[in-house]
């Protein structure tokens, strides 16, 4: 019986999203949630079941497995990597997928007054007459990145069941805690045993990325002076207002809602406080290294100006680098890019070469001597209730992975 990619990848994906693997930034453990440990064991058992070799879960919960080469030519060892966790930005508990077959180009009405509409999401119109998989509107879907996992596993199974397709050594890995920036904190890139790899963690069909932001996080604490408001003139300093004053010192147009393409930004992700104390957290993003460093400088200077104005240490700031633009490594590896681009074309998709306005494990791995571009899963609108993925895009992703593996 011919290998049915459509039903295999669909069933695999739907079974994986049943498991809530939300990561937790407040946790000090690694992985940050116990559910990811259970999920790792499940993925390892699937790898064994489909016939992969050297299946391991290490002490940090990284799952790895190997497909042995069946090609006589001198082929590179290639890796494929996806992450196990889903974003803590939205609930992934009890995901109930909605499958819309032969999508007609209209609205898809979900629960909680959530509507997938081409008026708001024009990308939907690319997928008329296709099968759209979404959440029911009460959770995210989990295509980021369980679609990637399902696509990798399906591609490996396809190669195992079609030994006439010649390939070199293939390694796969599934990582925890990517969504909270810790995905490869303990990943042993050297012993992974690959010449290069691809993360399967991108968006629309055909997407291929060799650029990411330079990224940092900033944490600020504000200290006020609290006195009775009736006797506060010239004495009270409101810490919450200090947080607002700091934010107002940043360029108002350089925020996510007003940026696109290669625009960088400051993003206030959390703020809370009182008169006496306040805290704020930001992420800082820019593709250009010099602009990125200048953004950090602007934040330090804004904090310093507030401290000078009030003549005491009213604000403390700590900035931590998260990852660098992987283009600095991948710009010199045209062979890796070309291999993926040709594989995308051979799968019947049009390559969409674009920078990632976000992060990927591949950014850090590329600086760990494992060059690692990012290829598509097919998903859209990650991290929220509007998330969806066309089944046909998942099929193309499986074919791209298989094509990348083929002996040249």
* From 144, 178, 245, 286, active-site residue: 178
Count CB-CB contacts under 10 A for residue 1: 4
* From 66, 85, 324, 392, active-site residue: 85
The dihedral formed by the CA atoms of 271, 274, 276 and 278, expressed in degrees to the nearest 10: 0
Residue 304 falls in the annotated catalytic set = no
* Lookup: tokens for 247: 């934010």
DSSP string, 290-348: HHHHHHHHHHHHHHHHHHHHHTS--EEEEEEEEE--THHHHTT-HHHHHHHHHHHHHTT
Residue 270 falls in the annotated catalytic set = no
Calpha distance 86→20 (Å, rounded): 8
To 10 degrees, what angle do helices 239-248 and 289-310 make?
140
333, HSE (Cβ side, Cα atoms, 13 Å) = 22
Residues contacting 74, CB < 8 A, separation 6+: none
Cα dist from 250 to 113, 219, 408, whole Å: 35, 15, 51
DSSP string, 98-130: EEETT--SS-EE-STT-EE-TTT-GGGGGGTTS
Calpha distance 15→236 (Å, rounded): 57
Residues that are catalytic: 85, 178
């Amino acid at each position: 019986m011919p290998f049915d990619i459509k039903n295999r990848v669909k069933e695999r994906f739907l079974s994986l999203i049943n498991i809530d693997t939300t990561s937790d930034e407040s946790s000090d453990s690694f992985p940050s949630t116990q559910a990811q440990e259970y999920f790792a064991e499940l993925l390892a058992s699937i790898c064994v079941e489909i016939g992969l070799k050297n299946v391991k879960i290490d002490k940090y919960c990284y799952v790895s497995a190997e497909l042995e080469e069946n090609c006589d030519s001198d082929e590179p060892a290639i890796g494929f990597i996806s992450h196990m966790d889903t974003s803590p930005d939205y609930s992934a508990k009890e995901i109930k997928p909605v499958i819309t077959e032969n999508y007609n180009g209209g609205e898809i009405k979900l629960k909680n007054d959530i509507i997938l509409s081409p008026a708001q999401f024009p990308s939907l119109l690319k997928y008329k007459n296709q099968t759209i998989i979404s959440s029911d509107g009460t959770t995210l879907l989990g295509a980021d990145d369980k679609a990637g996992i399902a696509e990798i596993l399906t591609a490996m199974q396809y190669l195992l069941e079609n030994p006439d397709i010649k390939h070199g050594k293939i390694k796969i890995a599934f990582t925890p805690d990517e969504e909270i920036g810790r995905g490869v904190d303990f990943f042993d890139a050297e012993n992974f045993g690959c010449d290069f790899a691809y993360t399967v963690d991108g968006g629309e069909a055909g997407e291929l990325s060799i650029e990411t932001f330079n990224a940092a996080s900033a944490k600020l604490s504000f200290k006020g002076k609290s006195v009775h408001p009736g006797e506060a003139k010239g004495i009270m300093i409101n810490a919450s207002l200090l947080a607002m004053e700091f934010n107002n010192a940043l360029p108002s147009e350089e925020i996510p809602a007003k940026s696109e393409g290669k625009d960088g930004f400051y993003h206030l992700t959390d703020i809370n406080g009182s008169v006496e104390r306040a805290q704020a957290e930001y992420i800082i993003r820019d593709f250009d290294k010099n602009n990125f460093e200048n953004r950090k400088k602007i934040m330090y200077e804004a904090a310093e100006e507030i401290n000078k104005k009030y003549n005491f240490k009213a604000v403390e700031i700590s900035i931590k680098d998260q990852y660098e633009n992987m283009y600095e490594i991948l710009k010199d590896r045209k062979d890796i890019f070309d291999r993926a681009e040709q594989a995308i074309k051979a799968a019947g998709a049009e390559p969409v070469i674009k920078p990632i306005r976000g992060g990927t494990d591949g950014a850090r791995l590329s600086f760990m001597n494992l060059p690692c571009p990012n290829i598509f899963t097919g998903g859209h609108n990650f991290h929220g209730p509007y998330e969806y993925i066309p089944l046909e895009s998942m099929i193309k992703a499986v074919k791209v992975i298989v094509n990348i593996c083929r002996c040249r």
